[in-house]
């Protein structure tokens, strides 16, 4: 019996030794992989995503990567979901903060609908004509065929925008400096400025298509794929101050009830300066200031958003400086999943360059939801 117990203990010890040896081999392999990388990813880009929410260790490892380029960030954040570089890298908190800053810095992103995709484009089906219907009489008369809906496919491709902030290596070595906050701010500022300009004025070539680049007509019944515009009566201003309020009211009333609830004005600062002077027939200003920081200023009861990428009013020059509508349903912003960061400590020594790229798209998807105001003479 004692011999059986001894044999069992020997077998158990052998199994434990095998487990230990197997574990040591895995550790050595991981160390070798890390050593071969030499603590630097070279030209490998590091996409950011949010697979692991609230992973503080991943954020700390990302900060270490920014400072010194060591590979611990890869080991802590490796996921089994392949992208262009073989893996996602997930400092979720930083990615979330960048998105929040983009909303604050980009007026169009704050009022438009945003979706994330994992491909190079998104295809949306929109109805350009609603189906018809009718009442059925009691008599068994022949029922007339009703019009069928017309559906149109809109494709929104994504385009690459980049930011390339640069910092001194000594600053990165300073443990008192919040490197993540610095990088987040620089990237958000540059991307927000470029993307917002494209959402407003982009021509669709290597950048999103802005809503001001979409064709428009003055008629309410117009071709599919065109916006409706109104005329101020004079280039660079209103022809008559007495009728200016009527034009703005016509814009509001032209919007369908489904869009009115979430409608907003968006305009340049120079347009705001012109509109703030307008008064109604009772002598009160059409523009009303915000009563607190939590409530926006309003024009005819609807919030006003200031966007410096909207064309400025210039006397004698025709511009589209004011728009009104439900941008959440009218304009679609598309984000390609993943923000990529490339660390380059060699090109600009003693500075370290950070090359951040993001793929973004945008376009009008509902042409009844947005109205434009042209500051020009009315067409004949």
Burial grade of 318 (CB within 10 A; 0-12, 13-18, 19 or more): middle
What confidence score (pLDDT) does residue 257 get? Answer: 93
pLDDT-derived band at 32, boundaries 50, 70, 90: low
Is 338 contained in some domain? no
Indicate whether 333 pLDDT > 90. Answer: yes
Tens digits of per-residue pLDDT, 266-289?
Answer: 999 999 999 998 888 888 888 898
Average pLDDT over residues 322-326: 97
Tell me whether residue 256 is in a domain. Answer: yes
Helix (H) or strand (E) holding 340: strand 339-344
Q: Does 16 map to a domain? A: no
* Cα(194)–Cα(206) distance, integer angstroms: 12
Alpha helices in the chain (DSSP H): 2-37, 56-68, 72-77, 92-105, 107-111, 169-173, 179-201, 241-254, 257-260, 269-275, 327-330
* Of 72-86, 304-318, 351-365, minimum mean pLDDT range: 72-86
Residue 272 lies in a domain: yes
Q: Where does 51-142 have alpha helices with state H?
A: 56-68, 72-77, 92-105, 107-111
Omega before 62 within 30 of 0, i.e. cis: no
* Contact status, residue 367 vs residue 255, Cβ threshold 8 Å: no
Instruction: Place 358 in a pLDDT band, splitting at 50, 70 and 90.
Output: confident
Highest mean pLDDT among 14-18, 26-30, 50-54, 283-287: 283-287
Q: How far apart are CA 254 and CA 371, in angstroms?
A: 8
CA distance 68 to 62: 10
- DSSP characters for 269-335? HHHHHHHTT-B-TTS-BSEE--SSTTS--EETTEEEEE-TTSPPPBTTB-EEEEEEE-HHHHEEEEE
Residue 201 token pair:
């004025």
Whether the CB-CB separation of 363 and 200 falls below 8 Å is answered with no
CB-CB contact of 81 with 51 (8 Å): yes
CB-CB contact of 123 with 153 (8 Å) = yes
Average pLDDT over residues 117-131: 79
Alpha carbons within 13 angstroms on the beta-carbon side of residue 67 total 20
Above 90 in pLDDT, residue 52?
A: no
Structural domain of 216: 211-332+366-375
Q: Give domain status of residue 219, yes or no.
A: yes
Read off the pLDDT band of 83 (50, 70, 90): very low
State the pairing for strand pair 339-344/46-48: antiparallel
**291 occurs within a structural domain:** yes
* Number of domains present in the structure of the chain: 1
Assigned domain for 356 exists? no
Whether 274 is covered by a domain: the verdict is yes
Domain containing 250 — which CATH number?
Answer: 3.30.2320.10
């Amino acid at each position: 019996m004692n011999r059986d117990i001894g044999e069992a203990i020997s077998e158990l010890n052998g199994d434990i030794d095998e487990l230990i040896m197997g574990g040591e081999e895995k550790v050595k392999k991981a160390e070798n992989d890390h050593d071969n990388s030499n603590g630097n990813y070279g030209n490998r880009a590091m996409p950011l995503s949010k697979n692991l929410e609230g992973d503080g260790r991943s954020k700390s490892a990302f900060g270490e990567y920014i400072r010194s380029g060591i590979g611990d960030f890869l080991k802590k954040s490796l996921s089994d979901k392949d992208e262009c570089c073989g893996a996602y890298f997930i400092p979720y908190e930083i990615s979330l903060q960048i998105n929040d800053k983009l909303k604050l810095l980009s007026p169009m992103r704050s009022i438009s609908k945003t979706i994330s995709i994992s491909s190079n484009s998104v295809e949306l089906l929109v109805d350009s004509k609603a189906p018809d219907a009718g009442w059925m009489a009691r008599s068994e008369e022949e029922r007339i065929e009703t019009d069928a809906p017309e559906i149109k496919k809109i494709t929104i491709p994504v385009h690459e925008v980049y930011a390339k902030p640069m910092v001194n290596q000594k600053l990165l070595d300073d443990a008192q400096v919040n490197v993540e906050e610095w990088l987040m701010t620089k990237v958000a500022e540059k991307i927000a400025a470029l993307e917002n300009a494209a959402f407003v004025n982009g021509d669709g070539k290597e950048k999103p298509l802005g809503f001001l680049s979409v064709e428009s007509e003055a008629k309410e019944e117009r071709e599919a794929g065109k916006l409706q515009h109104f005329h101020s009566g004079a280039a660079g201003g209103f022809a008559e101050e007495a009728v200016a309020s009527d034009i703005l009211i016509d814009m509001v009333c032209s919007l369908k009830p489904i869009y009115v609830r979430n409608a907003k004005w968006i305009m340049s600062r120079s347009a705001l300066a012109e509109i703030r002077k307008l008064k109604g027939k009772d002598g009160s200003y059409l523009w009303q200031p915000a009563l607190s920081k939590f409530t926006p200023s309003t024009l005819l009861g609807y919030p006003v958003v200031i966007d410096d990428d909207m064309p400025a009013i210039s006397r004698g020059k025709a511009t589209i400086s004011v728009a009104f509508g439900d941008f959440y349903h009218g304009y679609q912003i598309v984000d390609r999943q993943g923000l990529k960061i490339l660390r380059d400590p060699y090109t600009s020594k003693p500075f370290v360059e950070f090359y951040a790229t993001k793929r973004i798209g945008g376009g009008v998807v509902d042409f009844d939801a947005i109205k434009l105001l042209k500051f020009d003479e009315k067409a004949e």
